[in-house]
Every structure is written in C-alpha cells, then in structure tokens.
C-alpha cells in the first residue's frame, strides 16, 4: 500500500492514460502481522532479485533457512504490515496524489463474516497474535477509510455496513474473508449505482 501511495503521488499521466476515476479498496493484508518487517521498511525488488529468489526457493537448504527466519520473526515481532497510522497516512497521500492531478478518488472498505468464525489458517499462520481481536482490529481499519473519505469529501462505498444487513453466508466463501462471485457482483452493482449518481456512466449509442 505504501508503494502505491508513493506511485500515485509521483505518476505523470498523459492524455491517453489519465484515469477518469481511482478506486481504493484495501483492508486485509495491511493489518496482518508483518512476520519480519512492516511494509514501510520493505523495498521493491529488482527482476534479477526475483529470478534469484525463485531459483533458490526450490532448494531445501534455502527453504529450511527461510522457515527458521520466519519462525524467529513471528515470535519476536508483533508489528502489523501497515500500522493504523500509516494506513491512514497512505490513504491521505493517495487522495492528495489524485486530487492534485484532477482525478477523483473513491474509497471502499472491506466486509467480513467473522461472526461465523475465523479461518483456521489465521490461527496457525502467525498472521494474527490474538484471534479474538481480529474483528475489532478489522473494524478499526474500516473506520479509518470512512474518516478519510469524510475529511476529503470523497465518496465512500461502505461495503462493511451494507453487507451487515445481508445474508453473509451467501456472499462469503468458507474463510469469511473472500467473496463468492455473487458478493463481488453486489459490490460491482453498488459501484455502478454510484457512478450513475455522479453522472460518470457514458450513454451507450443505440445499435444500428
């Protein structure tokens, strides 16, 4: 997320590539535990680095070394990949980067169905340190999205609030994070409604 906010601030759009709208939809990987270093201490990797890593990933010695490091990182660090303050700062940077170029930005937050339980992998992967607090943690990140949208007068599609009134068992797969196609369609339909409300849907010429 940090790298994207930096990119939006420093990207130069020409007449052929300037978007009519930027939608910002985060809310999951950001608040998992870093298991090493938070995102703001990471650096984009070169193609050579990625190729070398892919080659080494097949070697047993490298796999054992990585496993050992991940175990140490998980047991000694409890930082999130993107802390709550950085999360808000990144959203605001994205808004500044877009508005400075005359591009509207819309925010979405992410719903969940944790009232039906947490996926087992979250309890064992080291991505959370207290499973009982995950729902409250996620809500705090969603609240930041609402606040930034309100402060910047950006439209906000509050997916979490709208899905709360629906039968989530029909929307979410078994991990209660990812959506079935019907859930994705619900978001798309709501975005379409917003687009129409803001007169951003071009008229389709009649077929001849």
Summarised one tens digit per residue, pLDDT across range 12-43 is: 555 566 899 999 998 788 888 887 777 777 66
**How far out from the chain centre does Cα 125 lie?**
19
Mean pLDDT value of segment 135-150: 95
pTM of the model: 0.76
CATH superfamily of 2-33+80-197: SGNH hydrolase (3.40.50.1110)
Q: Edge-to-edge strand order for the sheet containing 105-108?
A: 22-25, 105-108, 156-157
Check whether 3 has a pLDDT greater than 80.
no
Predicted confidence band at 125 (pLDDT cuts at 50, 70, 90)?
Answer: confident
Domain boundaries, the chain: 2-33+80-197
Strand segments (E) across the chain: 22-25, 105-108, 156-157
Pairwise pLDDT comparison (149 vs 73), residue with the higher score: 149
pLDDT band at 124 (very low <50, low <70, confident <90, very high): confident
- Going by their DSSP bridges, the two strands 156-157 and 105-108 should be labelled as parallel
Q: Which two tokens stand for residue 117?
A: 């339980």
pLDDT tens digits, 97-120: 999 999 999 999 999 999 998 888
String of DSSP letters for 114-163: GGG---HHHHHSSS-S-GGGHHHHHHHHHHHHHHHHHHHT--EE-HHHHH
Structure confidence by residue, pLDDT tens digits, 70-84 = 544 444 457 888 999
């Amino acid at each position: 997320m940090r790298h994207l906010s930096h990119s939006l601030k420093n990207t130069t759009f020409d007449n052929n590539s300037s978007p009519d709208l930027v939608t910002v939809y985060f809310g999951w990987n950001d608040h998992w535990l870093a298991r090493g270093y938070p995102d703001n201490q990471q650096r984009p990797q070169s193609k050579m680095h990625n190729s070398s890593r892919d080659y080494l990933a097949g070697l047993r010695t490298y796999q054992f070394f990585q496993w050992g490091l991940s175990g140490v990182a998980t047991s000694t660090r409890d930082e999130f990949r993107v802390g709550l303050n950085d999360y808000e700062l990144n959203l605001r940077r994205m808004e500044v980067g877009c508005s400075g170029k005359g591009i509207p930005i819309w925010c979405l937050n992410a719903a969940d169905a944790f009232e039906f339980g947490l996926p087992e992998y979250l309890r064992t992967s080291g991505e959370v340190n207290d499973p009982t607090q995950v729902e409250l943690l996620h809500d705090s990140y969603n609240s930041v999205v609402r606040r930034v949208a309100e402060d910047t007068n950006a439209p906000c599609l509050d997916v979490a609030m709208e899905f709360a009134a629906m039968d989530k068992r029909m929307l979410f797969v078994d991990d209660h994070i990812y959506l079935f196609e019907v859930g994705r369609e619900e978001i798309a339909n709501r975005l379409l409604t917003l687009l129409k409300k803001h007169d951003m849907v071009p008229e389709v010429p009649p077929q001849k």
